[in-house]
A and B are shown apart, each in its own frame.
Chain A
Amino acid sequence: MIWRETLLCFLTAALLQNIVLSTGFGASMLLRTLHRSRDTLVFSLLLMLFAVSTVLLAYPIDMALGTSWNIKLLRPGIVVAITAVLYGLFSLLFRHLLPRFYTRYGRFFPLAAFNNLVIAVALIINHRAAVTLLPAVGIALGACAGFLFLSLCTRECVDRTDHPDMPYAFRGMPVSLLYLGILALGFMGFASSYSI
């Protein structure tokens, strides 16, 4: 039963109610990592690492703190502090265990760790979703998988619209945003199926 709920949460966050399209979390970074496929993939994997580990650490703390207004005021600060600790920890680990990877992609670490998507997923889980730990991890994984899926779709759109017939005014970011808007409109049709 719990695995079914986890899978449902994963699919909802990734596709049915894609978190990037339904909230805009991570939209800026999505547009900025489109230049190279490998960058997109590495950034999405780092996002997944930080999102899942933040949820794993934040969830029990969140449950212990309760839901009073004073605690609600402090919760975002607690989540950011947890992410800061994880950022330090993973930076150290990667620098010592995978130095070549860290030299090449170290610039993505702070951008992935302190990302709207990572912090928002940890906040949404208690604020809106009220799920147990495993489905919460499913939401985090789904949100990042949805980010990767959208990045790949948008990259394809950018490649196909890089054409002399495309009006100059819409080349680059404007056409990507219009594409994401139309995609969001399409995905809205799934939203009523299952809601986070």
Chain B
Amino acid sequence: MKRTSFLPRFAETVFLRNIVLMQGLGLCPIIAVSTNLKYGVALTLCTAAVLLPTSLVMSLAGRHLPSRLRPPLYTLGATVLLLGAGWLINRCISHELYAALYLYLPLMAVNTIFSFYAGRYEVHGRPGHALLDALAASCGFGLVICLISCLRELLAYGTLWDVPLSVPFTFSQAALPFAGFLLLGLMGGLLQRLTGRPFNAAPGEEGGAAK
């Protein structure tokens, strides 16, 4: 891969082809859990920790695996990685953080990000490209979930990273799922306006589809 193509390709995947706002992937954790910046950062790190190795492995070995075995294999692989991440968070970082993410952390393994993103490297894609795209997709996901987490935490609790700020008013309902849907819709509209590109969810582009 040419060095010069790194930054434009990375920026395009993070912004113009944003995995959440332009492709509609990984919406569930953003709607349900993005109520605190800590949760947003934890889920971003977990996404990167799983998406990078699964994309790399699928780009290297995917074509040698029978098509029907690929989806269960990378889902089970992602689950094992996320269970490890959960164990680390529980033992080494914070039990409260693990308890808050308990339901959503393992569910990241069956998130559409992995089934669409890791799955698309199973037949084609060079390892370098797969790694770069996976890193950019994780950053794109992180950008959106952290931004929405900041907004919802500020609006709902008047804090940021659990630090109280002098906010003139709070709106506790901002922590409810409807606020996640609305904020995502508004951010999607803003990005669509800025880029001039429509949402892309053409049927049949799913990765990991059985043949």
Residues in A lying within 8 Å of B, measured CB to CB:
21-29, 31-33, 35-36, 39, 69, 72-74, 76-77, 80-81, 83-84, 87-88, 91, 106-111, 113-116, 118-120, 123-124, 127, 167-182, 184-185, 188
Q: A27-B31, A28-B27, A114-B75 are in contact. Are A180 and B210 (CB under 8 A)?
A: no
What is the minimal beta-carbon distance from A21 to any residue of chain B, in angstroms? 7
Asked whether B181 is an interface residue with its Cβ less than 8 Å from the other chain, the reply is yes
Residues in B lying within 8 Å of A, measured CB to CB:
21, 24-32, 68, 71-72, 75-76, 79-80, 82-83, 86-87, 90, 102-103, 105-107, 109-112, 115, 176-182, 184-186, 188-190, 192-193, 198-199, 201, 203-204, 206, 208-211
Nearest A residue (CB) for B30: A24
Complexed CA–CA distance, A127 and B186 (Å): 33
Complexed CA–CA distance, A114 and B111 (Å): 8
In the complex, what residues of A have CB within 8 A of residue B179's CB?
A: 181
Which 10 A-B residue pairings sit nearest by Cβ, starting from the closest?
A: A24-B31, A76-B106, A181-B181, A177-B185, A107-B209, A110-B71, A169-B193, A173-B199, A178-B185, A184-B178
- Do B115 and A174 touch across chains, with their CB atoms under 8 A apart? no
- Do A28 and B24 touch across chains, with their CB atoms under 8 A apart? yes
> Mostly helix, strand, loop or mixed at chain A's interface?
helix
Q: A23-B32, A24-B28, A39-B203 are in contact. Are A173 and B188 (CB under 8 A)?
A: yes
- Do B204 and A114 touch across chains, with their CB atoms under 8 A apart? no
Complexed CA–CA distance, A127 and B106 (Å): 13
- Kindly identify which residue among B71, B103, B184 contacts A123, using a CB–CB cutoff of 8 Å: B103
In the complex, what residues of B have CB within 8 A of residue A74's CB?
A: 83
- Do A174 and B83 touch across chains, with their CB atoms under 8 A apart? no
Q: A111-B206, A170-B192 are in contact. Are A27 and B103 (CB under 8 A)?
A: no
